[in-house]
């Protein structure tokens, strides 16, 4: 199975690029869940609401926390570690790009482990 999510960095402040990224990213997380639930010993993870970000800073904070929760469930199953994905100031360009790089690295590992790359 090939991922529809391209590990990329959309430009800081690019709302359209962010929207496209959100859809592919959410679908990638669904692929992880599908792989885990289809195994010999099925593992069923919840689906977290990370398809859209609503409500400005508060909505972004909620998205970051929900997304970090999903990664926290995936990590031990893939035997990977990562940064706290909820701790970032997405309004700071340097923080945004550092987060995106760390996040992309983790997804690349998860893709390989769950064989969705």
Where exactly are the structural domains of the chain? 15-113
pLDDT of residue 2: 46
Q: How confident is the model at residue 10 (pLDDT cuts 50, 70, 90)?
A: confident
- Residues 114 and 31: their CA atoms lie apart, in Å, by 9
pTM: 0.91
The pair of structure tokens assigned to 86 is 């909820």
Q: Cβ(76)–Cβ(82) under 8 Å?
A: no
CA–CA separation, 18 vs 116, rounded Å? 22
3-state SS assignment for residue 37: helix
- Residue 63, SS3 per DSSP: helix
Mean of the per-residue pLDDT values of the chain: 91
Flag whether pLDDT at 55 surpasses 90: no
Query: Coil, helix or strand for 108?
Result: helix
Say yes or no to pLDDT of 1 above 90.
no
33: number of CA atoms within 13 Å, CB side? 14
């Amino acid at each position: 199975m090939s991922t529809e999510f391209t590990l990329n960095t959309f430009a800081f402040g690019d709302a359209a690029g962010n929207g496209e990224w959100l859809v592919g990213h959410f679908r990638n997380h669904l692929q992880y869940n599908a792989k885990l639930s289809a195994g010999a010993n099925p593992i069923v993870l919840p689906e977290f609401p990370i398809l859209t970000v609503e409500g400005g800073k508060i909505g972004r904070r909620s998205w970051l926390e929900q997304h970090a929760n999903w990664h926290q469930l995936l990590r031990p199953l893939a035997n990977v570690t990562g940064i706290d994905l909820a701790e970032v100031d997405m309004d700071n360009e340097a923080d945004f790009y550092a987060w995106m790089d760390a996040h992309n690295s983790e997804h690349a590992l998860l893709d390989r482990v769950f064989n969705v790359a």
